[in-house]
């Protein structure tokens, strides 16, 4: 993720939030995440993976995502 892409960071954070039930409504399948975000299951998978990588690596990206989550 590019550090200045706030919208992308928000969308990736939302994908992680939905996938793992961080919103308190339970975990969702990739298909459900995709439907909620208006993307395919495959794109939802990619977004969750990118979000996980962001949280695990780049401090600036991680801090931006943690602000959203």
User: How many residues in total does the chain contain?
Assistant: 69
pLDDT band at 14 (very low <50, low <70, confident <90, very high): very high
Pull the structure tokens for residue 26.
């339970």
Output the pLDDT for position 69.
66
Output the pLDDT for position 29.
98
Output the pLDDT for position 4.
52
Output the pLDDT for position 2.
53
Please tell me the pTM assigned to this model. 0.81
Pull the structure tokens for residue 39.
């993307």
- Rounded to 5 degrees, what are φ and ψ at 15? -60, -45
17-66: pLDDT as tens digits: 999 999 899 999 999 999 999 999 999 999 999 999 888 887 777 777 77
Q: 3-state SS of the chain: helix, strand, coil percent to 5?
A: 70, 0, 30
């Amino acid at each position: 993720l590019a550090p200045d892409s706030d919208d992308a960071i928000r969308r990736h954070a939302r994908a992680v939030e939905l996938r793992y039930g961080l919103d308190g409504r339970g975990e969702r399948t990739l298909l459900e995440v995709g439907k909620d975000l208006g993307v395919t299951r495959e794109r939802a998978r990619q977004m969750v993976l990118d979000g996980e990588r962001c949280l695990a690596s780049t401090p600036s990206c991680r801090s931006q995502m943690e602000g959203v989550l």
